[in-house]
Structure 1
Amino acid sequence: MNKFKEIISQDKPVLVDFFAEWCGPCKVQAPILKDLKKKVGDAANIIKIDVDKNQAVASQFGIRNIPTLMIFKNGEVKWKQSGVVQADELERLINQNR
């Protein structure tokens, strides 16, 4: 949990993908995030949190559906949405929160 707080407290956007191994839509989201990382490079961090292995973090942020994507900056939630989100939309949101 402390490591997670440290990561989301950065001065640049941090996109967090709350997922589970068994989740079909999460498998669709994974390659979209790889594509997004190529586009944004070091402008943002992208991390994945397995809700089955990190239940405390998922619970703290009220994750009920997966995938749920969140953007943090300086420890604050800037955006949150459940479901698959396309790379262009995520790139726009990251740029908006730089």
Structure 2
Amino acid sequence: MAIVINDNNFDEEVLKSNLPVLVDFYAEWCGPCKMMGPVVEAIANEVEGLAKVGKIDVDESRVIASKYNVMSVPTFMIFKNGSLEETVVGAVSKDVLKNKLVM
């Protein structure tokens, strides 16, 4: 299951994680974000123990969204060893995100 990430726990859950982390920047009002929700949850279930998957509501966590220049949603960011490795903007297939996360 995807974890809820916000301005308060971002450093601990993402930057200090020993596992790669897929972060889904989304908004409740965003149609494509709602479409990607089940995809993100499926990835979270499939990579459990190998990677982490988290979701950040950009309307509630403006500090992190601003820090990483999230201009549109959904935006997916992959962090490894505390560093941003890749950014994917827009709805994409499960395989695209999963492969980028666990490769």
TM-score normalised per structure 1: 0.91
| Superposition misfits of 4+ residues, deviation over 2 angstroms | none
Task: Confirm or deny that 1:44 pairs with 2:51.
Answer: yes
Unaligned runs of 5+ in 2: 1-6
Q: CA RMSD in A?
A: 1.1
User: Aligned residues: percent identity?
Assistant: 41
* Deviations, residues 45-85 of structure 1 (Å, cap 9, x unaligned): 11100000011110000000000000011210011011012
SS in 1 for 2:59: coil
Letter in 2 for 1:5: D
For 1:83 and 1:53, the matched residues in 2 are separated by 20
Please name the residue that 1:26 is paired with.
33
Superposed CA offset, 1:11-69 (max 9, x none): 21110000000000000110011111222122111110000001111000000000000
- Superposition map of 1:1-98 within 5 A: 1-9=7-15, 10-96=17-103
TM-score, length-scaled by structure 2: 0.87
- Name the structure where helix makes up a greater proportion of residues: 1
Corresponding pairs, count: 96
- Matches of 2:44 and 2:62 in 1, distance apart? 25
